[in-house]
Amino acid sequence: MADSHRTDELLIPLHVRYIQNLGKSTDELAYHMTAHLRMNAIYWGLTALCIMGHQDALDREETIDFVMSCWDEEAGGFGAHPDHDAHILSTLSAIQILVTQDALDRLDVDRVVKCKLILSLQQPSGVFAGDSFGETDTRFLYCAVNALSLLGRLSELDVERTVSYIRQCRNYDGGFGATAGAESHAAQVFVCVAALAILDSLDEVDHQTLCWWLSERQLPNGGLNGRPEKLEDVCYSFWVLSALSILNKITWIDADKLVSFILSAQDPELGGIADRPGDMADVFHTVFGVAGLSLLGYPGLVDLDPVYCMPASIIEARGLRKGWKSLPRRAE
Amino acid sequence: MASAQITDNPLLFAERPEWQDVVPLEQYEGVRPLAPIFYTPEYKDATDYFRGIVKSGEKSPRVLDLTENIIRQNPAHYSAWQYRYKTLMALNAPLDEELRLMDELAVKYLKTYQVWHHRRLLVQQTCKPAPELEFIASCLQVDAKNYHTWSYRQWLLAHFNDAALWANELEFVDRMLDADVRNNSAWHHRFFVVFQSGVRQGEEDRNDVVRRELTYVKVKISFAPNNASAWNYLRGVLDISKTPYSAFTSFVTPYCEAEPPQLDDTSTDIMDLDDPLPSQDAQLPCTAAIEFMADIHERLGGDSLRVAIDHWSSLANTHDTSRKKYWEYRIREALSNVH
C-alpha cells in the first residue's frame, strides 16, 4: 500500500517511479489509445526525468532503439510508434530525445533535412502542415523550426516566409493563434514566441501587450488558464511561463501561488501530476508541471531552456541559448 | 451505406470470412518495443488488418468499414484518417453520406484535430458550405468554446467567402454572446467578422460600423463589467479605428467606483447608450476599468501621468496584487517618460 505524501513539496522519487512504470501499464484502454503519442510521451517522460535530475531512470539504449524503430524510411522522418506514418510532431520529439541522449549520430541528418518531411511541409503562406494529410497549425511551424535548429540546419529554412506567417497569426489582444485569424491561445502563443526566439525575430511581438495578456492567465487560485474565462490547467504553467521567460517578464505572475497550485495537482499516492488538483495524473501534465517549477526557481531542479523545453545545459552546449530569463534557483 | 458500428458486427476481422484474403500484419514484427502496449483484442485485430490493407494498397468499400472501425476506437489514429480519405477519393464515394457520418463523430470527438481536418477536406470537395454553418452551431451548443469548432467556422467563411454565408454571421455572434457574454471565442470571432474579413455590402460606412461596435461593447460591459473579453474587444476596436481612449472617460468613470451609482426617483428604465451604467448588482470597482482609466491618463501624458500612476498603485497594492510586478513596471516606465 503506497504511502500518502504531502503535496507542499515536489515528490521527486514518486514521480520518477511513475514515469518508469508508464511502460508497464495494465490499464489497456487508456494505453492503447495513446500509441499515436508514444514518441511524444517518451520525450515528455525523459525531459521530466532530466529536470528532476534522474535522466538515467530510463535505459538510454532502450530509448534510442525505440526512437530508431519509428524511423519512416520512405518519408525520411519519425512516426509516433513503429509502423506509424511520419509526422512532424513525432519527428521533433525523436530529435529531441536523441539530442538529450547524445545520440544524434544515429541519425542521417542530411536525409531528414532534404527529405519530404520537414521543409516540404511548408506551404506558400509560410505555415507548416503536420504531414501530407495537410492539417496546418503554428505548432507544426515551431516543430520544424526547433528540429532544424537542433540539427544545425536552420539555414535551409525560408525565415522571411516563416516569420511573415507568424506575424499574420498575431491578434488584436497581442496573442497568437493556431492559424491566421484564429483566437489567441496560450499554447499557440508559446509556439509562436519560441519560434520567433529561435529565428531571432522577437521584435514581431508587442511585448507589453502580450506579456500583460499572459500575466492575465493567472487565476485567483494561482493556476493559469489558456485564454480568458477558461479553467486553470497545469500545462499552462509551461506554455505561459516559457513565453514570459523568453520575453523576460516571468516576474509578472505570482510565483508562490503558481508553485502551490502545481504542487497541489500531484498525485501523492501513485505519483505524476494532473491538469488540476483531484484529477488523474498523466505524463504530459507531469513534464509541464515540473518544467514550470524549474522556470520558477523551485529548489533541487535542473535548469530548463524554455525555448526548446529541454535541459538548458544541453542547449547551451550546442550554442543555441537565447536571451531568456527564469527565476533564480532557490536553495533547498 | 450502413455505418459499421462495432456493436453491429461483433466479429473480429480475423473471424469474418469476407476478410480471409487479407494478410494481417502484427505491430511488432522484428522490433523490440520499449514499452509493449497491451491492446484490446478488437483494436489489435482492426489495426493488424489495417496494416495489411495499407501494405497491399487496397482502396475498396470494405476499407471504409475498417477505417471507421479504427476511428471509432481511436479517433486520433491519423494514419487511419488519411487512408480513409484517399480511399474515399479513389472510390469516388458519395461525400454527403461521409459528412453525415462525420456529423456523428464530430460531436463524439470534438477535441480531436483529425475529425475537423477530415471535414475540411470533404467540404473542399463538395463545395457546399451553407449546411456547415448550422452543423457548427449545433456543435457549439455542446461545447461553446471549442477551439477547433470556431477555427473551422472561420476557415469555412474565409475559404468560400460567399456573401450568403456571411449574411447572418453577426446575428450568430450576437446569439452566442447573449448565451454567454464571457465567451472569448465569440468575441474573437466578432472581431474577425467585423474588422478582418473585408467590407461587405451595407457595411461600407466604416465610421458607422465602429460606432455600432463601440455601443455594443459598452452595453455588454454594463451588463457584466468584470469580463476581460469585452474590455479586450473595446481596446481592439479603439486601436483599429484610431479612436482616442480618452473619448471613453465618462463611460469608464462609474466602473472605477466602489459602488454602483445611486439612481434618483426621476430615473427611467431607458438605458443611456452613450454611457450605460454598471448594473446594480455589479461587483465594483471593476479592475479592468481601473486599468483602462490608467491607460487613458497615460496617453494624455503631462500631469495626467500622476493619475495613471495612482491607478496602477491601487492595482498593485489592492485590486490586482497577483500582477503587482507588472503594475510596478508600468509605473516605472511612466516615470522614466515623464521628461
Min Cα separation A230/chain B (Å): 9
Residue from the list A38, A171, A230 with its beta carbon closest to the beta carbon of B145: A230
* pLDDT tens-digit readout, B61-81: 999 999 999 988 888 788 899
Whole-angstrom distance, CA of residue B248 vs CA of residue B251: 5
CB A151 within 8 A of CB A109: yes
B76: contact with A, CB 8 A cutoff: yes
Q: Which residues of B touch A275 (CB under 8 A)?
A: none
Is the pLDDT confidence value at B40 over 90? no
Of all residues in chain B, the one with the smallest CA distance to A23 is: B35
Q: Lowest-confidence range among A115-124, A197-206, A271-280, B137-146?
A: A115-124
* pLDDT tens-digit readout, A157-192: 999 999 999 999 999 999 999 999 999 999 999 999
Closest by Cα among B81, B144, B86, B90 to B115: B81
Sorting pLDDT into bands at 50, 70 and 90, what band is A132?
Answer: low
pLDDT (mean) for B109-125:
86
Q: Which residues of B touch A66 (CB under 8 A)?
A: 33-35
* pLDDT tens-digit readout, B298-338: 999 999 999 999 999 999 999 999 999 999 999 999 999 76
Whole-angstrom distance, CA of residue A235 vs CA of residue A307: 15
Q: Could you identify the residue written with the cell 512532424?
A: A88
DSSP classification of residue A122: B
3-state SS of B246-303 is HHHHHHHHHHHCCCCCCCCCCCCCCCCCCCCCCCCCCCCCCHHHHHHHHHHHHHHCCC
Ramachandran angles phi, psi of B262, nearest 5° = -80, 120
Position A4 scores a pLDDT of 59
Position A24 scores a pLDDT of 67
Q: Which residues of B touch A218 (CB under 8 A)?
A: 322-323
CB A224 within 8 A of CB A296: no
Neighbour tally for B38: CB within 10 Å: 13
DSSP classification of residue A292: H
Mutate to test the interface with B, among A29, A32, A64, A214 (most CBs of B within 10 A): A32
Q: Is B55 a catalytic residue?
A: no
